[in-house]
Amino acid sequence: MFRKIKGQSQVIGLLQSAIEQERIAQAYLFHGSDGVGKFMTALYFGMALNCLSSSEYRPCGVCASCHKFLSFQHPDFIYLFPTVNLKLSSDGEIRDNEALKQYEAYLKNKIETPWQEFFFTGSTEIRKESMSQLIQRLELSIHEGQYRVVIIENADMMNTQTANAFLKTLEEPPHNTLIVMITERLPQLLPTIISRCQPVYFKPLSQRVIQDILFERFQVDSVLAKSAARISGGNLKTAIRIAQDSSSSSRDKAFDLIQMAAKKQDLEYLNQVKSRRDSADAIRDLIAYLGIIANDLCVTQYCLQEITNLDKSELLESLSHEQIADRIPDYLLLLDDLTRKLEGNVNPTLIQIKLFLATKYLLSP
């Protein structure tokens, strides 16, 4: 099943040789940006250590143990992640009904559609009570597996007090227990935590890998896969979100904007923006697409085959003209600037108007 994890062959090689040589560190720290396979690798690593198959390709994904891991039902699998206040009882039961619903929805999403973001309503952290529960459970013996597997997601999201409580466990971890901490923000972890773990770096996925995953596993057509991969910045989750956002696709919106700007339809555009009320995420994707289209407009002039939006080559050819290449650098700078402003909570309508005006200037003969 390790073969299902694409683009991280170095990491997989390292973990597989640790398994073969039976030299498993007691705690690992998987770090690297979001959407590059850290959680899945941690889960498969734990599965491999408990897999009942005699084949050399472990985890097999089909034995009883693997099944329990994949559905998060294995009694020796403990998964800790940032939550809202669950109002845990002393024996670990969630007493807040609304929080319980969200907790279950989070797990369902993580198991079935892990590439989708899940947002709790309310601020989240790895709570001291959840950590105390974990520490208590680690004092008990293992149920049925070879190894107990603990995955702590977004490990940076615990306060110093909680981290210190866990430090004692990291100093003297119980036998046959694999702890994998996962973070996108390594510098935010306490140095005392980092120094007690074996760090494993996950690099961003290459465009090629993302494109192949979108095409093979999500049946995204090759043109869309190529552009989604290109603007995802190596984050598979972002690429999937963009590729699946087909009903009101950011790509279509970007081409709409391009066409309206070319025809100088200012008022129509403004009305559309007002009625659509796009989210910040949607505008961010729109800006990213405009960047790709701008690049295509430039490339169109000398090598039509190299453009990303091949299906729009006729339109791009009709819009491209000599001055565009000179104007593109400023245009791209403006796109960057608008993305930053979006994060700084500048009015989204204002940002879309600036986008339109800049695009109109870019395309004007």
CA-CA distance, 272 to 277, in Å (whole number)?
A: 9
Following DSSP, what letter does each residue of 89-128 receive, concatenated?
-TTS-B--HHHHHHHHHHHHHHHH-TTS----SS--B--H
At which residue do the structure tokens 């080559």 appear? Answer: 313
Cβ proximity to Zn ion: between 62 and 105 the closer is 62
What x-and-dash track marks residues 44-73 binding Zn ion by CB under 5 A?
Answer: -------x-x-----xx--x--x-------
Token pair, residue 155, equals 């490990």
Residue 67 or 354 having the CB closest to Zn ion: 67
Alpha-carbon distances of 67 from 44, 61, 184, 286, 338, rounded to whole Å: 11, 6, 28, 40, 46
The CA distances from residue 124 to 63, 138, 323, in Å, are 35, 24, 50
Cα–Cα distance for residue pair 230/239, rounded to 1 Å: 8
- Distance of closest approach, residue 59 Cβ to Zn ion, in angstroms: 5
Helix 280-299 / helix 324-343 crossing angle, nearest 10 deg: 170
* Shortest distance in whole angstroms from residue 50 CB to Zn ion: 8
C-beta of 142: minimal distance to Zn ion in Å? Answer: 17
Least distance in angstroms from the C-beta of 1 to Zn ion: 8
Determine the Cα–Cα distance for residues 200 and 179; give it in Å rounded to an integer: 13
Closest to Zn ion by CB, 56 or 172: 56
CB of 65: closest distance to Zn ion in angstroms? Answer: 5
Tell me the CB-side half-sphere exposure of residue 42, using CA atoms within 13 A.
Answer: 31
Strands across the sheet containing 27-31: 77-80, 148-152, 177-183, 27-31, 198-201
In the region spanning residues 225 to 284, those forming contacts with Zn ion, defined by CB under 5 A, are none
Minimum distance of Zn ion from residue 73's CB (angstroms): 14
Of 4-12, 43-51, 235-243, 340-348, the segment contacting Zn ion by CB under 5 A is: 43-51
Q: Compare residues 2 and 331 and give the one whose CB is closer to Zn ion.
A: 2
- Tell which positions 66-125 bind Zn ion, by CB under 5 A: 66
Task: Considering the complex, state which of residue 66 and residue 229 has its C-beta at the smaller distance from Zn ion.
Answer: 66
Tell me the site size for Zn ion, rule CB under 5 A: 6
Nearer to Zn ion, 60 or 194 (CB): 60
* Residue 98 near residue 164 (C-beta atoms within 8 A): no
* Alpha-carbon gap, residue 72 to 363, rounded angstroms: 53
Would you state the structure tokens that stand for residue 22, as one six-digit string? 């039976």
Write down the least CB distance from residue 51 to Zn ion, Å.
Answer: 3
Q: Closest CB to Zn ion among 40 and 299?
A: 40
Site string for Zn ion, 23-42 (x = CB under 5 A): --------------------
Using CB under 5 A, list all residues that contact Zn ion. Answer: 51, 53, 59-60, 63, 66
